[in-house]
Amino acid sequence: PQRIGILTSGGDAPGMNAAIRAIVLAADHYDLEVIAFRHGFEGLLEQNYLQLTPNHVQHILQYSGTIIKSARCPRFKEVASAQQAARHLAELNIGALIVIGGDGSFRGAHHLSQHWDGQVIGVPGTIDNDVYGTDSTVGYSTAVAIAMDALDKIRDTADAMDRVFIVEVMGRNAGFIGLKSAMAAGAERMILPELQRDKPLTIEAIVKHIKRVEAVRGQGSYVMVLSEHQWPGGAVALSEQLEAEHGMPCRPCLLGHIQRGGPPTATDRVLASELGVYAVELIREGARNVMTAMRAGALTTVTMEETWSKKNPLPENLLRIQHEIFNPVKKSRQPR
Ligand code: ATP
């Protein structure tokens, strides 16, 4: 094709701008025009777009967010929406569309591909890392770095006061941010969706663990990482419960959208750059309905359907280390 379209959809992720820049620079390199739709699929339906040239993408890769805006667009699930989008793409003479987003956005991309004969290519952009087929999504590394930084800061004050803290992190229904930031910051405990599914923690088990850690170490701080949606009422409710029902002073800390802002890590900028260029090169090779991915250091693709129908498991070895080797409470060890 002579013209390709791009859009960012779903939750924004650090590194999306780096991906946009990479796509525009690669397109320029290969003499393709880039039409960017604003606000995700909404822009496709509303014909809200602009042409992007290398000038537009100068010095944007160091900023999180997305210069072409992202949005959720519930009506895109309708057949009529996909048909309308296909019409608009045809009118604009666009032969390929790159969708930067998470698994929901790829469902949308796939839905479009069933009503449009252009090439659809995905670039994984979400902090949650919950997209099958790639070791990391664009934004994940930055979210983990931000959570780690916050946990380090919480540790300082927790240590000074011998306090229990519950830090709530994002992740949708996946524990990647929780697990990695907990390990990076040496948290005493983590509550992750994948673990809750097998064996949900009770308040009694949490209290017991905190008391045993105190007994093993003497006084000290205790920092728990809680993935979002994994406790009714979240970190605030859990710490109130610990304090009111079990006399255990505890403070909550909600990181929230702080995890999506600030300068993206070098890892995310470079990943976004490689995946963005690869997406353009795949279009030139005639690929369709696949997502660009990085696995074991190599560029690869997965089919669009696989990105949401399969699930990346949490890294087994990190779980083992956190549970068995770094757990302050050893089954075999008596409290000192
Ligand atoms: P994140 O998880 O980081 O927020 P995401 O891409 O998974 O990113 P979603 O809100 O799940 O975010 O999806 C983004 C958009 O994709 C939706 O608002 C909708 O426009 C489109 N979409 C999602 N599922 C479908 C579907 N089944 N059919 C058509 N479009 C869909």
Q: pLDDT tens, 183-228?
A: 999 999 999 999 888 888 999 999 999 999 999 998 889 999 999 9
Helix (H) or strand (E) holding 102: none
Q: Residue 124 in 3-state DSSP?
A: strand
Q: Residue 324 in 3-state DSSP?
A: helix
Ligand 1 midpoint to CA 261 (Å): 21
Tell me if 121 sits within 8 A of 98, measured CB to CB: yes
Ligand 1 midpoint to CA 311 (Å): 16
Measured from the CB, is residue 104 less than 6 Å from ligand 1? Answer: yes
Residue 75 alpha carbon, nearest atom of ligand 1: 20
Measured from the CB, is residue 102 less than 6 Å from ligand 1? Answer: yes
Residue closest via CA to ligand 1's atom 28 equals 77
Of 7, 9, 83, best ligand 1 pocket probe by most atoms within 8 Å of the beta carbon: 9
The token pair at 333 is 């060890």
From the list 128, 135, 152, 162, the catalytic residue is 128
Helix residue spans in the chain (DSSP H)? 16-29, 41-46, 79-91, 103-113, 140-161, 176-185, 193-198, 203-217, 234-246, 266-285, 304-309, 316-320
Measured from the CB, is residue 107 less than 6 Å from ligand 1? Answer: yes
Helix (H) or strand (E) holding 190: strand 189-191
pTM for the predicted model, two decimal places:
0.96
Residue 101 alpha carbon, nearest atom of ligand 1: 6
Residue closest via CA to ligand 1's atom 31 equals 108
Residues 6+ apart with CB under 8 A from 41: 7, 9, 71, 73, 76, 81, 85, 108, 112
- Give the chain's length: 336
Question: Which stretches of the chain score pLDDT less than 70?
Answer: 331-336
Measured from the CB, is residue 115 less than 6 Å from ligand 1? Answer: no
Name the phi and psi angles at 165, rounded to 5.
-125, 145
Measured from the CB, is residue 43 less than 6 Å from ligand 1? Answer: no
pLDDT attached to residue 335 = 47
Measured from the CB, is residue 9 less than 6 Å from ligand 1? Answer: yes
Measured from the CB, is residue 66 less than 6 Å from ligand 1? Answer: no
Residue 121's closest CA among 306, 288, 336? Answer: 288
pLDDT attached to residue 93 = 98
Q: Report d(CA 179, CA 284) in Å as an integer.
A: 38
pLDDT digits (tens, 9 = 90+) for 7-59: 999 999 999 999 999 999 999 999 999 999 999 999 999 999 999 999 999 99
Q: Report d(CA 313, CA 308) in Å as an integer.
A: 13
Name the phi and psi angles at 261, rounded to 5.
-120, 180
Q: Report d(CA 76, CA 73) in Å as an integer.
A: 6
pLDDT attached to residue 220 = 87
Tell me if 216 sits within 8 A of 170, measured CB to CB: no
The pairing of beta strand 290-295 with beta strand 119-124? parallel
- Is 152 labeled as catalytic in the residue annotation? no
The token pair at 313 is 């498991």
